[in-house]
Amino acid sequence: MYAELLELILGFVKAFAVGGLICAIAQVVINFTDLTAGKILVMFLVVGVVLQGLGLYQPLVDFAGAGATVPISGFGYLLANGAMKGAEQGWFGAITGSFSAAAAGISAAIIFSLIMAFLFKAKTKRN
Q: Give the pLDDT means over successive 10-residue stretches in the chain (127 positions).
A: 92 96 95 93 95 94 94 92 90 87 88 93 77
The whole-model pTM stands at 0.79
What is the predicted pLDDT for the residue at 56? 95
Read off the amino acid at residue 84.
M
Query: CB 17: neighbour CB atoms within 10 A?
Result: 13
Question: How many domains, in total, are found in the chain?
Answer: 1
Q: What is the span of the domain harbouring residue 57?
A: 2-119
Domain-located, residue 96: yes
pLDDT for residue 119? 94
In a domain, residue 88? The reply is yes
Q: Where are the alpha helices (DSSP H) in the chain?
A: 2-32, 37-53, 57-64, 66-69, 72-86, 91-119
Cβ(68)–Cβ(47) below 8 Å: no
Q: What is the pLDDT of residue 127?
A: 64
Does the residue 126 lie in any domain?
no
Is residue 45, in this structure, part of any structural domain at all? Answer: yes
31 part of a folded domain:
yes
- Determine the pLDDT at residue 105: 85
**Residue 46 falls within a domain, yes or no?**
yes
99 inside domain: yes
The reply to whether 125 falls in a domain is: no
Residues 42 and 3: their CA atoms lie apart, in Å, by 40
